[in-house]
Amino acid sequence: MEKILVLDFGGQYNQLIARRVRDKRVYAEILPYTTPLETVAAQNYKGIIFTGGPNSVFDPASPHYDPAVLSLGVPVLGICYGCQLTAYMAGGKVETAESSEYGKIELTVDQRDSLLFRGVPADSTVWMSHTDRVTALPEGFVPTAHTDHCPVAAFENRDKRLYAVQFHPEVTHSVFGDRMLENFLFEVCGCKGEWQMDSFIEDSVKALREQIGDKKVILGLSGGVDSSVAAALISRAVGKQLTCVFVDQGLMRKDEGDFVEETFTRLFDMNFVRVNAREVFYRELKGVSDPEEKRRIIGTAFYRVFWDEIRRQNDRGFFAQGTIYPDRVESGKGDADKIKTHHNKVKMPEDVDFLGIIEPLADLFKDEVRRVGEKLGIPHELVWRQPFPGPGLGVRIIGEITPEKVRLLQEADYVLRDEIAKCGYDSHLAQFFCVLPGVKSVGVMGDHRTYEDLIVIRAVTTDDFMTADWAKIPYDILARVSARITNEVKGVNRVVYDVTTKPPATVEWE
C-alpha cells in the first residue's frame, strides 16, 4: 500500500495534514520526530512531509532530525518549521526576521514550471504563521516563490525531489494549498491515490477473521458513532461470534435506546445484549445535585453494570472497542506516539481477562469512520450523530435527577431536534440540545397563572469543541421550536436561548 509519512515536529496542524492527504486517497500516518531514521527508511514511504512546529531551528533544544533523511531518495515536503528545518539540515541559513508574518498573505510564484505549483496562478493567497525565515539556500536548491516580507517563501531541489514551503498549504485559507498538496503527492511522489474505504473494509474484514478465528468478541456499544461502526465492521467479519453489550442508563435522548437496539438487531448479524439499568441509575442518583458527584455516580454505576454483564458472558474471547486515530495521537506536541491521557480506553477490572484487544478503527479519522459506517449500511442519523456526552442527559439536568425531569427534558429535546431536522439546519450545527436548569418561572395560560419549568436551548458551531460559538439559528426556527415546546411539553412555560461562547462557558451546562 502506498503511504505518506507525516513527520511531526509539534505543529498544531499535524492531523490536518494527514487528513488532507487521505482525502486524496493516499494513506498517511503521523510519527513523532523521535522516530529513528532506520524505521522510516524501512517503510517504503512514497513521500515524507515535515510538519510545522513552534520552535526555532537554531535553538539546540528544538526538534531536529537526521539530515540523512534528505538522502533516502524519498521525496520530502517541508512545511513552515519543516521548511526551515529542510534548509537548515541541507546547509542553508535560517534567521529570525524583524517582524512576524501572520495570516493571509499574497504569494508570488517565481518558478511557474515547478511541479509543486502546477496549475497554481502566479499570485494567490496563502496562510502564514512564522517569525524565522530562510535567508540563504543550501547548494542545489532554488527559490520558487516569495512574499513581500519573505524572499524565500518556497524552494526546491527538483532532482532530489526535495520541496519546502514557508506557508501552510493544508489550511483552507491557502487558496491553492490543496492543489499544491495534490501536486506533491501525484506529480512529485508519483502516488496513485487508490486508498479508499472499500479496500479498508475488505482488508479489515480479512484481518479480523484471521485474528479472531473461531473465538468470541465482546464490544461495549454506546450508540455513538465510533463504537457503532466498530460493531458493524466486526459483525461483517464474524457475525454472531460478536456480542455487543449496550447499557441503557435511562439518560439517553427520547427513544434512543430503542433505536440503537432496533438498528443493531435488525440490520446486523450479532448477539445484542441490552442491559436496562435505568432504575439502578435513578436510585443511585436520588437526592444528589452536585455536578461532579453526579458524574462520578453515573461513571461508577456504568462501570459496575457493564462489567457485571461482561462477567456473565461465559466464553469471552477478545474485547473490542471503537478507538479512533485522534484518540491516540496528540495534536501539536511532536509526540505522535503518545497515547492521549483522555484516551477512552476502557479500564478493565482485574478479574476479567481477554485474549486481546481489538481496535479496528484505530487508524481512521472521524470523517473516515463515518464513511466506513455509511458503506456498512449504518443509518444516516446514527453515522452523523452529534456528540453526546457519556453521562447523557445527566449533565443537562441541573440539580437532582428524577425520572420526571428526564422525561420532560427528553420531550423538549425531541421537539428541538425534530424542528431542526425538518428545516435541514442540523448541517450548520456542531451540537444542539436542550437543558433543564431546574428553574421555574411565572407564566399565564388562558386565565390561569402558571409556575412551571424553563427550558434552555443550547446550539453551537465549532471545529474542535475546544472553543465554540453560539449558533446564529434564524429567529423563525427558534420561534417554531419555542412555540412547540411550550405547547407540547407539559410542565414547560418558557424557553430561552443560550448566547454564550466557549470560553467563558462550556458547551454542556454541567
Catalytic residues: 80, 168, 170
Q: Which of the residues 452 through 481 are near ligand XMP (CB under 6 A)? A: 465
Q: Tell whether residue 346 is a contact of ligand XMP (CB under 6 A).
A: no
Q: Tell whether residue 391 is a contact of ligand XMP (CB under 6 A).
A: yes
Strand partners, 217: 242, 318
Residue whose grid cell is 439518560 = 251
Q: Tell whether residue 390 is a contact of ligand XMP (CB under 6 A).
A: yes
Q: Is the dihedral of CA 273, 279, 282, 284 positive or negative?
A: negative
CB closer to ligand XMP, 70 vs 251 = 251
Cα–Cα distance for residue pair 401/289, rounded to 1 Å: 7
Please state the closest distance from residue 387 (CB atom) to ligand XMP, in A: 4
Q: With CB under 6 A as the contact rule, which of the stretches 125-133, 211-219, 448-456, 501-509 interacts with ligand XMP?
A: 501-509
- Quick check: helix, strand or coil at residue 155? strand
Give the 3-state secondary structure of 189-228: CCCCCCCCHHHHHHHHHHHHHHHHCCCCEEEECCCCHHHH
Q: With CB under 6 A as the contact rule, which of the stretches 16-24, 373-381, 469-477, 502-510 interacts with ligand XMP?
A: 502-510
Q: Tell whether residue 431 is a contact of ligand XMP (CB under 6 A).
A: yes
Give the 3-state secondary structure of 461-472: ECCCCCCEEECC
Which candidate, 440, 443, 423, 441, places its Cα nearest to that of 432? 423
CB closer to ligand XMP, 364 vs 507 = 507
Cα–Cα distance for residue pair 24/196, rounded to 1 Å: 9
CB closer to ligand XMP, 402 vs 500 = 500
Please state the closest distance from residue 132 (CB atom) to ligand XMP, in A: 35
What's at 260, amino acid-wise? V
One of 179, 235, 389, 436 touching ligand XMP (CB under 6 A): 389
Please state the closest distance from residue 21 (CB atom) to ligand XMP, in A: 27
Q: Evaluate whether 248 touches 390 at the Cβ level (below 8 Å).
A: no
Q: Phi, psi at residue 108, to the nearest 5°?
A: -115, 125
CB closer to ligand XMP, 130 vs 294 = 294
One of 24, 160, 480, 502 touching ligand XMP (CB under 6 A): 502
Q: With CB under 6 A as the contact rule, which of the stretches 107-115, 270-278, 348-356, 499-507 interacts with ligand XMP?
A: 499-507
Which candidate, 153, 119, 114, 147, places its Cα nearest to that of 133? 153
Q: With CB under 6 A as the contact rule, which of the stretches 271-279, 283-291, 417-425, 500-508 interacts with ligand XMP?
A: 500-508
Q: Tell whether residue 507 is a contact of ligand XMP (CB under 6 A).
A: yes
- Which spans of this chain sit near ligand XMP (rule: CB under 6 A)? 387, 389-391, 395, 431, 465, 502, 506-508
